[in-house]
Amino acid sequence: MAEIDTSGGGGRKKGGKVRAKKMSTRVDMTPMVDLGFLLITFFMLATTMSKPTSMTLSVPHKEKDETQKDTEPLKASKVLTIFMGKNNEVYLLDGIAADDEKAPAALEKVAYGTQLREGIFKAKQRVNSMFPPEEDGSEPFVAVLKPTPVSSYKNLVDVLDEMAITKTKRYALVDYLTDAETKLLGDKIDP
Amino acid sequence: MAKVRPKKSAPFIDMTAMTDVAFLLLTFFIMTATFKNNEAAEITTPSSISQIKVPDEDIVVISIDPEGKVFFSVDGQPVRISMLENIGSAKGITFTDEEKYKFSIQPGFGFPVAQLKSWLGMSPEQMKQVEQPGIPVDSTGVSELADWVFAARKANPKVRIALKGDNAAKFPVFKDVLSNLQSQNINRFNLITSSEEPPAGFRQDD
């Protein structure tokens, strides 16, 4: 009498007593799974998975008074100037000042990405092999970034990113063009 | 004599394991969820290899949308309220408590101060739909954006500035924003980007 019928519901034993039909203890989980996946779907769509990252940008203090001591001007041969033009074009001027007569021939148009990176590496290698390290131990190579009014914010971030990739520590963001540079770039920076 | 029939049973799949998995995943997603807040403008940021995460707290985000409109957002409702009070007292406008509350629940905004009051007078649905003109910015460095930055820093001195520009935003707008920040002697800020894989062979310096 004390035995437990484990055969599930319904089965009647041959010749046994008629017992009350036992209900199955199994719960149908299907609706619960449905609900679970519905909620998962909701949370997956509502979540922003990748947190945005940020790059720090430090700009020099704006000098209120011009008491800043004169510093030696940079040698043009140590400098790679990167002009950001329109339509995602970028122009490199390696080691030549913009007012030099050889500048128009030396101005090199490259694309963002690998080409730009190769250009930076090439200039970096040239400068670092030509000049000894600076007094404070940093490399002599300097990059000057010149965004033109027709360039986009993405271009700026891309170039800053190239600075991080090429590990160029000495770079300057200069937001105006000299007359010689404007002349050099000509219609490349027309809106 | 009756034929022996194969015993019929309803096909029954044990869903318990599946429930376990479903709820495990559900728990994970609930735990990690940070909700998208509906921002004033849709902005696609450029990508960089930078690994630094944007802080969640004490942050002012200045967004630049593709048309060059500038939006401003700051975290924390009490900070937003005291920022509004600061700007109100600077510009000689008083805001009612209801307007302050309505302002504090907006994630970001892009209105000139003069139009702010009429925007805050709208119903919440209208506030979402209305076209925001952006905060006036110019190259002199003393435009309304500078006032907002000042008010936000007064409300929360620990606040850090982050710039979030769209891919297509033109450089001159960025330059104007920059000069507004520099006029406040803010020379160090974060540019918000999405992350991308560094090129092959790149190793991060320690």
At residue A104 the predicted structure's pLDDT band, cuts being 50, 70 and 90, is confident
Q: What mean pLDDT value characterizes chain A?
A: 77
Of B168, B164, B171, nearest to B190 (Cα)? B164
Q: Nearest CB to B19: which of A32, A48, A147? A: A32
Token duo for residue A128 = 């670092």
Number of inter-chain CB pairs under 8 A, A vs B: 164
A137 vs B48 pLDDT, higher one: B48
B92-120: b (≥16 Cβ within 10 Å) or e: eeebeeebbebbbebebbbbebeebeebb
Handedness of CA B163, B168, B172, B173 (dihedral sign): negative
C-alpha separations of A104 from A96, A181, A186 in Å: 10, 10, 10
Per-residue tokens: A177: 């063009």
Give the chain B residue nearest A43 (alpha carbons): B29
Rounded to the nearest angstrom, the minimum Cα separation between A168 and chain B is: 12
Higher pLDDT, B174 or B201: B174
Q: Answer yes or no: do B54 and A54 touch at CB < 8 A.
A: yes
pTM for the structure as a whole: 0.73
Contact call for B170 and A53, based on CB within 8 A: no
Q: Does A47 touch chain B (CB under 8 A)?
A: yes
| Nearest residue in chain B measured CA to CA from A156 | B171
One of 1.20.930, 3.30.420, 2.40.128, 3.40.50 is the CATH number of A76-189, namely 3.30.420
pLDDT tens digits, A42-94: 888 877 666 778 888 877 776 655 555 556 677 777 888 888 888 888 888 88
Q: Does B24 touch chain A (CB under 8 A)?
A: no
Helix (H) or strand (E) holding A90: strand A89-94
| Local confidence band at A9 (pLDDT 50, 70, 90 cut-offs) | very low
- Tokens 């400068």, residue? A127
Cβ of A139: how many Cβ atoms within 10 Å? 17
Whether A180 contacts chain B with CB within 8 A: no
Tell me how far apart the alpha carbons of residues A178 and A144 are, in angstroms, rounded to a whole number: 13
- C-alpha distance from A187 to closest chain B C-alpha (Å): 18
Distance CA A92, CA A111 (A): 10
Question: Above 70 in pLDDT, residue A149?
Answer: yes
Q: What is the ipTM of this complex?
A: 0.74
The answer to whether the beta carbons of residues A159 and A57 sit under 8 Å apart is no
* Closest to B144 measured CA to CA, from B42, B75, B69: B69
Mapping DSSP to helix (H, G, I), strand (E, B) and coil, where does residue B201 land? coil
pLDDT at B200 exceeding the cut of 50 = yes
A113: closest CA of chain B, how far (Å)? 10
- Chain A 73-92, residues with CB within 8 Å of chain B CB atoms: 84
**Closest alpha carbon to B147 in B74, B69, B84:** B84
Residues B121-164 have pLDDT tens digits of: 888 788 777 888 888 887 777 788 888 888 888 888 888 888 88
* Token pair recorded at residue B133: 């003109």
In one letter, which amino acid is A16?
G
Identify the closest residue of chain B to A158 by CA–CA distance: B48
Could A39 and B187 be called an inter-chain contact, meaning their C-beta atoms sit closer than 8 Å?
no
Return the percentage of chain A with pLDDT > 70, whole number. 83
**Residue A127 in contact with residue A110, Cβ under 8 Å?**
no
Whether A80 contacts A143, CB under 8 Å: yes
Tokens of B46: 């450029």
Are B54 and A52 inside 8 Å of each other by CB?
yes
**B14: number of Cβ within 10 Å:** 9
Separation of alpha carbons B66 and B169, rounded Å: 5
Q: Note whether B35 contacts A46, CB cutoff 8 Å.
A: yes
Q: What angle do CA A185, A186, A191 make, to 5 degrees?
A: 100
